[in-house]
Amino acid sequence: MPRKLTKTIESRTDNLLEVREFVLDAARTFGFSEEEASKIVLAVDEACTNVIKHAYHYAPDKKIQIVIEPNKDTFQVTIIDEGKAFNPTTVKLPDLKQQLTHYRRGGLGIYLMKSLVDKVEYKYSPGQKNEVRLTKYLSSGASRARH
């Protein structure tokens, strides 16, 4: 598998299918099971949706770059944008009971991503590109489909 895979899309939700297929194919090639690959895809989809909604406020012509970096036992996906910076420390964890009883849509993004991958990291500073890095570890029992 190549050291780095990159895809750039315009910030429209109808481009997310292309991103999901790109990430799913790479995760399968890396050796993840369908279930684990699907979790990574869902986390990346959520991160891209957050960029479209919050960083770009639904502007359809901005760029989102997705960079996949497979290493020996780690699979990193970085989502890069040039929109409004996001500080994850300002977000409260959702009240899941309230979410369920009042059936609220949204608000679970960071919580959801953290439950799907092993590590979620944010890099942001004024005037710089924003980055969300999602890391998933290949468990020792996973099949080694890579060469």
Q: With b meaning 16 or more CB within 10 Å and e meaning fewer, what string describes 125-146?
A: eeeeebebbbbbebeeeeeeee
Work out the angle between the directed axes of helices 16-30 and 34-50 (0-180°, nearest 10).
Answer: 150
DSSP notation for 99-115? HHHTT--S--HHHHHHH
pLDDT in tens, 97-116: 654 555 444 455 777 889 99
Dig out the tokens for 64 from the structure.
């989102």
Residue 93 has pLDDT above 80, yes or no: no
Tell me how far apart the 2 most distant CA atoms of the chain are, in Å.
Answer: 49
What's the one-letter identity of residue 136?
Answer: K
Q: Stretch 107-129: mean pLDDT, rounded?
A: 85
- The SS3 assignment for 66 reads strand
Residues near 85 by beta carbon (within 8 Å), at least 6 away in sequence:
55, 124, 125, 126, 130
Q: Is 68 exposed, middle or buried (0-12, 13-18, 19+ CB in 10 A)?
A: buried
The reported pLDDT for the residue numbered 7 is 98
Domain 5-137 architecture = 2-Layer Sandwich (3.30)
pTM (predicted TM-score)? 0.84
Strands (DSSP E) found in 1-147: 5-10, 63-70, 74-81, 119-123, 130-137
The reported pLDDT for the residue numbered 141 is 46
pLDDT in tens, 10-64: 999 999 999 999 999 999 999 999 999 999 999 999 999 999 998 999 999 999 9
Ordered by start, the domain boundaries in the chain are 5-137
